Chains A and B, each alone.
Chain A
Amino acid sequence: MMATRRTFFKVLGAGAAWALSPATKLGSMPTMPDGNIDFAVVRGPDAAAAVKKAVSMLGGMEKFIDKGDVVFVKPNISWDRKPEQAATTNPIVVETVVSLVLAAGAKKVIVADNTCNDARRSYKRSGIREAAEKAGAEVPYMEARKFIKKDLGGEVLKQWEVYREAEDADKIINLPVAKHHGLSNVTLSMKNLMGLIGGRRDLLHQKLPECIVDLTAYFKPDLTILDAVRILKANGPQGSTLKDVVRMDTIAASTDPVKIDAFGISLFTDAGFDNDLALFPHISLAEKKGLGTSDFGGAGYQEIKLG
């Protein structure tokens, strides 16, 4: 059902008949000028090139980053798992984003996550620490002393401990990986923001959709880039066997977290994993709150294939 829906949106979106044509290839296709869209999907095996392309389709990193900004980049580093296991954000994606941000004139880039497994192991095994440092970011562990209580003003989350450096940063870039999650079926961009808070996060599961919508409303990431180079389609969120991992070679970028999440859900359908928007109450809750629209294929959608 989702696949057809997505295609349907594509047809509507930007009146782009090219998207459906099997003959569509990079170079030959009539693309819109970069920068006039708000939802970019790039498919292709070269993750770095895909990220770069997606960002430039949205108008380039300079559109999101001002000179001298302190930028907080939030990949998913939750688990002590290798990149192949698709439980953590692809390190190439992190590395590329960090260098784009620095090239756009940011003063400092911080890459961090409040991990579930041991932070030292997760930072290392995910390959993210090495990749982010190589690109010039600071990759600190989130230490207990740096969580401060804040008024989040959410429906459920009134007051909570927030990571100070994310709070103080000028911009936040969210870098989720698309993967299965037992309770919420998938975990995408909005849930990824849980890594910016501390405290008794385990309590949030009881009202997970409400909580992650509250977090999205509070943090309002300036840009979200979804890593679907590989997706974990079962036994998430940390996964174990490679059997559950499907290669999708897809990157999606947008300022609209709801679009990203709706698109992410469709990816699972493409991967042969039965899903339905109705199973994801956080999407409609977020829409209701005005955080974005689930109609990701509407105006502003552009998809291209690289390589």
Chain B
Amino acid sequence: MKNLRRGSQIIFLVFFLILFVQTEYKGEDELGMPVRLFLDFDPLIALSSLLASHAVRAVFLFSLVTVVLTVILGRFFCGWVCPLGTLNTAVSFLRMRRKPKHPDDGNFPRLRKIKYFILAFILTGALFGWNAAGFLDPISLTIRSLAIGYNPAVNGLVRSILDFAYMTNIPGISPGADTLLSFLTGTLLAFEQPVFRQMITIAFLFSVILGLNFLAPRFWCRYLCPLGALLGVIGTKQMFARVDVDKGKCVSCHTCNRTCQGDATPFPPGSWASRECLVCFNCSDVCPVDAISIHPTLQSTGDGNVDLQRRWLITTAAAAAFSVPIVRLGEHNKRPHPDLIRPPGAINEKKFLQRCVKCGECMKVCLTNGLQPTLAQAGLEGLWTPMLVPRLGYCEYNCNLCSQVCPTGAIEKLTLEEKQAVRIGLALFDKNRCIPWAMGRNCGVCEEHCPAPGKAIKFFDVEAVNKNGDPFIIKRPEVDPGLCIGCGICENKCPIIDIPGIRVTSVNESRAEYMLYM
């Protein structure tokens, strides 16, 4: 059974990584792959989004499949499917090679509660409109950490090695590196080296989660994961995979507890905790006397489930309820943050925050690498939600990829025509920096690139005098706020490399209450 499970884990991890790599423009306007599939099947994302936004979406039906299977099989998802679970298993495997110091080395059954409190906090918060699930939901967390943290790092490393090999100009090596790199970009690697704000932070946090496996095997899954907690609760009565320990045969060797992935304590007989069991089959596989069997039964085979003590649960829920209004306080509620340019299709800000789970799918897929994780621009509630940073990348006129990958509808699916009509911000010249205005020289790179039909940047021929006092005609650019869609290509391409002569801010966005001009 163990090998079967490992096979399943590897297959799902590979599938997850394939979808991850496919979350990029691959030559068609529509992504050919259901890249957000894992998120669609995630009941925690569905539940928290449903509670927070009071809106039912058809895609949530997928997660019901997971729910039904969990009722029957228990936390099989954690043991057999979850990509973060598999990564944790892999790291734990490194740890388990060393000799245990005592029989229950690495097991901390008392910590099992934490994840239920985290879950209670998240769900109560969601009930009051704060969708914090994505911070700790394993699927969302993994996609975000890989997209923003690990992927740029891996890309940078491979590229710099191959670039170096190419630069050596050694026959055989240089062309080989060139061919390999051309092949890799757009297949396994990103088309262009991605750069993300907060890359180090997000990568570090993920590394901590993986590192915790050295404290206890699958530390995250056992003690922290809110999805694991939810699936545990749903699957408490799992009728097809109950662990049964034969008291008569058991020789109290603790081997089962030592190999148990979920700290579900099959030993001593009767203490097995169904909600903690990841259905990994390790215990029945390793028992030297075959005292353990896993089989379908409607009878109770253990009573080791975690006692959550109602008052602590209530306290947690109350804490969540009270923290909602507090996390919402912030300067962004007084005035919209100028830098907070949301991707096209992002729904009204309040509703957007209730839905966005910060999974990073949109940031991964963005063609130009312009979508970046928000830091404080939208308050704590909006941490790691997407915003366009025009200096880093603009919104490509004919692209609507981000709206195709959003799992929660925080970014609405738009047709290309609809998307092109959405204003995400407005460009305004800084005439003290813009070259034709401030320096009396022609430039107009912004005008050249502006894709808005009829051009939102227009030239006006103005007579000026040069250094010698001779008159000449200069083309001074101006923005037409009625045409500008805020795509940001003008700011992106402005030759003033640091602070541009034209800047796009969030004002005038379609979803705002008021337009800048009447």
Q: Which of A's residues lie within 8 Å of B, judged by CB?
A: 80, 116-121, 124-125, 140-141, 143, 145, 181-183, 200, 202-203, 205-206, 208, 235, 237-238, 240-241
Known contacts A118-B396, A145-B167, A183 near B181 by CB under 8 Å: no
Q: Does B448 contact A (CB under 8 A)?
A: yes
Residue of B nearest to A119 (CB): B191
Determine if B442 and A80 form an interchain contact, defined as CB atoms under 8 angstroms apart. Answer: no
Asked if A205 and B166 sit within 8 Å, CB to CB, the answer is no
Which residues in window 486-518 of B have CB below 8 A to A? Answer: 493-495, 497
Given contacts A120-B27, A121-B398, contact A145 B163 (CB under 8 A): yes
Shortest Cβ distance from A82 into B: residue: B398
Task: Assess A143 versus B185: contact at CB under 8 Å? Given A182-B444, A206-B442, A238-B449.
Answer: yes
Across the interface, name the chain B residue whose C-beta is closest to A202: B495
Residue ID in chain A nearest B186 by CB atoms: A120
Q: What residues on A are CB-neighbors of B493 within 8 Å?
A: 116, 202
Taking a contact as CB atoms under 8 Å apart, the answer to whether B25 and A121 are in contact is yes
Pick the contact of B27 from A124, A145, A182 — CB < 8 Å?
A124
Digit string of B351-372 for contact with A (CB within 8 Å is 1, else 0)? 0000000000000000110000
Chain B residue contacts of A240, Cβ below 8 A: 451-454
Contact code string B445-462 (vs A, CB < 8 Å = 1, else 0): 101110111110001000
Tell me whether A121 and B367 are in contact (CB under 8 A): yes
Q: In the complex, what residue of chain A is closest to B452 when comparing beta carbons? A: A240
A124 to B452, CA, bound (A): 21
Chain B residues, CB < 8 A from A119: 191
**C-alpha spacing A141/B183, complex, angstroms:** 11
Contact residue among B178, B399, B449, B452 (Cβ-Cβ distance under 8 Å from A121): B399
Expressed in whole angstroms, the Cα–Cα distance for A54 and B273 within the complex equals 83
Decide if A143 touches B449 in the complex (CB within 8 Å): no
B304 to chain A, nearest CB (A): 55
Binding site for A on B (CB under 8 A): 25, 27, 163, 166-167, 178, 181-182, 185-186, 191, 367-368, 396-399, 435, 441-445, 447-449, 451-455, 459, 475, 493-495, 497
Smallest CB–CB gap between B498 and chain A, Å? 13
Q: Given the interface contacts A235-B453, A240-B453, A240-B454, does A202 sit within 8 Å of B398 by beta carbon?
A: no
Q: Which of A116, A118, A182, A238 contacts B25 (CB 8 A)?
A: A118
- Bound-complex Cα distance A121 to B497 (A): 25
Measured in the bound complex, the distance between the Cα atoms of B186 and A140 in whole Å is: 12
User: Given that A121-B399, A143-B185 are contacting pairs, would A205 and B443 also be in contact in the complex, using a CB cutoff of 8 Å?
Assistant: yes
A117: which B residues are within 8 A, CB to CB?
Answer: 396-398
B113 to chain A, nearest CB (A): 49
Docked Cα-Cα span, A241 to B186, in Å, equals 31
Residues of A within 8 A of B191 (CB): 119-120
Query: Is the pair B367, A118 in contact by a Cβ cutoff of 8 Å?
Result: yes
> What is the minimal beta-carbon distance from B392 to any residue of chain A, in angstroms?
14
Q: Bound complex: CA of A183 vs CA of B367, how far in Å?
A: 28
CB-defined contacts of B475 to chain A, threshold 8 Å: 182-183
- With A and B bound together, what is the CA distance between A80 and B451 in angstroms? 10
Q: How far in angstroms is the closest Cβ of chain B from A126?
A: 12
Of A181, A200, A237, A238, the contact of B495 (CB 8 Å cutoff): A200
Helix, strand, loop or mixed for chain A's interface?
loop
Q: Contacts A145-B167, A237-B448 known; A206 to B182 CB distance under 8 Å?
A: no
- Are B448 and A182 within 8 A (Cβ)? yes
| Cβ contact within 8 Å between B442 and A208 | yes
Q: How far is the CA of A181 from the CA of B495 in the complex (A)?
A: 18
CB distance from A204 to the nearest CB of B (A): 9
Are the C-beta atoms of B445 and A205 separated by less than 8 Å?
Answer: yes
Q: Give the shortest distance, in Å, between B126 (CB) and chain A (any CB).
A: 37
A-B contact pairs, 16 of them (CB 8 A): A80-B398, A116-B449, A117-B398, A119-B191, A120-B186, A120-B191, A124-B27, A145-B166, A182-B448, A183-B475, A200-B497, A205-B444, A206-B442, A206-B443, A235-B455, A238-B449
> Which of these, B185, B442, B452, B454, contacts A205 with CB under 8 Å?
B442
Please report the C-alpha to C-alpha distance between residue A21 and residue B25 in the assembled complex, in whole angstroms.
54
Contact check: which of A116, A120, A202 meets B494 at CB < 8 Å?
A202
C-alpha spacing A237/B489, complex, angstroms: 14
Closest Cβ–Cβ distance, residue A241 to chain B (whole Å): 5
In the bound complex, what is the Cα–Cα distance between A181 and B442 (angstroms)?
A: 13
Contact: A241 with B453, CB < 8 Å?
yes
Residue contact A206 to B25, C-beta cutoff 8 Å:
no
| Contact with B397, one of A80, A235, A241 (Cβ below 8 angstroms) | A80
The reply to whether A202 and B445 form a contact with Cβ atoms under 8 Å apart is: yes
Chain A residues within an 8 Å CB radius of B454? 235, 240-241
CB atoms of B448 and A181 under 8 A apart = yes
**What 17 new A-B contacts, CB under 8 Å, besides A80-B397, A235-B453, A241-B453?**
A116-B449, A118-B367, A118-B399, A121-B25, A121-B367, A121-B398, A124-B27, A141-B185, A182-B447, A182-B455, A183-B444, A183-B447, A183-B448, A183-B475, A205-B442, A205-B495, A206-B435
Distance between A285 CB and nearest chain B CB, rounded to angstroms: 15
Chain B nearest CB, measured from A207 CB (Å): 8
With a cutoff of 8 Å between Cβ atoms, the chain A residues found around residue B453 in the complex are 235, 240-241
CA distance A80 to B394 in the complex (A): 14
**A-side contacts of B445, CB under 8 Å:** 202, 205
The docked-state distance in angstroms from the alpha carbon of A270 to that of B182 is: 44
Q: Which of B25, B445, B454, B493 has the most CB of A within 10 A?
A: B445
Most chain A CB within 10 A, of B442, B448, B493, is at B448
Assembly CA distance A238 to B396 (angstroms): 13
Complexed CA–CA distance, A193 and B65 (Å):
57
Complex: A255 Cα to B454 Cα, angstroms: 35
Given contacts A80-B397, A206-B442, A240-B451, contact A120 B25 (CB under 8 A): yes
Q: Which residues of B contact A208 (CB under 8 A)?
A: 442
